[in-house]
């Protein structure tokens, strides 16, 4: 095996990258066992690892299948799911998302097949997924203190103007205002709780500031407070919450395939929910303000600080 190919497989093993599960197995000479790249067992020493193209080759070499990841059983991932996972991995690897043709080439399928399969599996197109990823990266970088221009370029936007054009819908404010902790912003938030997770949606009258998931409600509230500590008002909005609960139920990730890694499904879920909320307009972008504002509570009786 070429050194470059072996190095690539080693990296997949160390990162437990399940997108490689259909490409090879690895065996550990000290244990006599072979595993899938995504196996959760402890990472072996590299000098003790041998790579094989499939489980049959590992069996023929005298190794036994791991009882944890069962590499001798047929992968539960369909070719379509594997293609989607590979596409998501490619979108996460670089700052600038490849265009559909380039992404399809990386994945090894046609652009039409990728677009159709991606949308069917995750509920959003590759372009919508990449857009959501950019906004998540931008808000994170701004919170970390990057300059506005650096954060915009690092997040994958080709120009500062491109980020500013849609910032009020996807950050609820300008990037500069976000970097300043949401200074002066009046922020509402809604919580959707279930047995397994909580979802927080926060926004302004202009758009959505944040969509976050966690098992802990207190953790979500702390995230909101730490990202936007300078907001002039921050309150739980019961009227919006009732509508958002329905939107979350309609776009719940558990309604989709369970084989998608949680990191990728989380981005897709945010993209689906954001699209659902932002598309709940009367007619065009300017109507978003009216659509959100008509649900406004009386702020005079609400606390002027984040939870």
User: Is pLDDT above 80 for 198?
Assistant: yes
pLDDT score at 230: 95
| pLDDT tens digits, one per residue of 9-40 | 999 999 988 778 878 899 999 999 999 998 88
The average confidence (pLDDT) of the chain is: 85
Q: What is Dmax (Cα atoms) for the chain? A: 75
pLDDT surpasses 80 at 158: yes
Q: Where a domain ends, among 16, 46, 65?
A: 65
Q: Is residue 16 situated within a structural domain?
A: yes
Question: What is the chain's Cα-based Rg?
Answer: 22
Domain for residue 77, yes or no? Answer: no
Report if residue 107 sits inside a domain: no
Q: What is the pLDDT of residue 296?
A: 39
- 60 is in which domain, residue-wise? 3-65
* Distance from C-alpha of 68 to C-alpha of 72, rounded to nearest angstrom: 11
Q: Give the Cα separation of 71 and 262 in Å (integer).
A: 21
Last residue of a domain, one of 31, 65, 99: 65
Q: Quick one: which of 213, 263, 266 has its CA closest to 19?
A: 263
Q: How many distinct structural domains can be found in the chain?
A: 2
Among 168-177, 213-222, 240-249, 283-292, the minimum mean pLDDT is found in 283-292
**Catalytic residue numbers?**
35, 306
Q: Are residues 59 and 135 in the same domain?
A: no
pLDDT for position 74: 62
Give the domain CATH number at 54.
3.40.10.10
Pair (204, 275) in one structural domain: yes
Specify the pLDDT at position 239.
Answer: 87
| Residue 285 placed within a domain | yes
pTM: 0.70
């Amino acid at each position: 095996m070429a050194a470059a190919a072996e190095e690539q497989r080693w990296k997949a093993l160390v990162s437990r990258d399940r997108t490689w599960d259909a490409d090879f197995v690895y065996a550990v000479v000290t244990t006599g066992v072979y595993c899938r790249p995504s196996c959760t067992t402890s990472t072996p020493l590299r000098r003790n690892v041998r790579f094989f193209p499939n489980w049959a080759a590992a069996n023929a070499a005298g190794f036994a299948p791991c009882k944890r990841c069962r590499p001798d059983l047929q992968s539960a991932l369909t070719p379509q799911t594997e293609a989607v996972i590979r596409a998501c991995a490619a979108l996460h690897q670089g700052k600038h998302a490849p265009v559909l043709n380039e992404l399809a080439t990386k994945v090894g399928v046609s652009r039409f097949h990728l677009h159709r399969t991606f949308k069917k599996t995750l509920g959003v197109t590759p372009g919508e997924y990449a857009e959501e990823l950019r906004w998540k990266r931008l808000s994170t970088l701004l919170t970390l203190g990057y300059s506005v221009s650096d954060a915009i370029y690092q997040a994958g936007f080709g120009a500062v103007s491109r980020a500013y054009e849609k910032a009020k819908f996807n950050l609820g404010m300008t990037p500069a205002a976000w970097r300043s902790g949401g200074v002066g912003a009046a922020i509402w938030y809604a919580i959707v709780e279930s047995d397994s997770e909580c979802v927080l949606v926060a926004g302004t009258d202009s758009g959505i500031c944040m969509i976050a998931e966690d098992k802990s409600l207190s953790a979500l509230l702390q995230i909101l407070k730490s990202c936007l500590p300078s907001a002039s008002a921050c309150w739980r909005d019961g009227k919006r919450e009732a509508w958002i609960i329905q939107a979350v139920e309609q776009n719940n990730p558990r309604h989709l395939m369970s084989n998608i890694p949680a990191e990728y499904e989380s981005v897709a879920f945010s993209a689906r929910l954001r699209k659902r909320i932002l598309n709940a307009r009367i007619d065009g972008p300017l109507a978003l303000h009216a659509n959100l504002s008509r649900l406004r509570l009386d702020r005079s009786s609400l606390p002027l600080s984040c939870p």
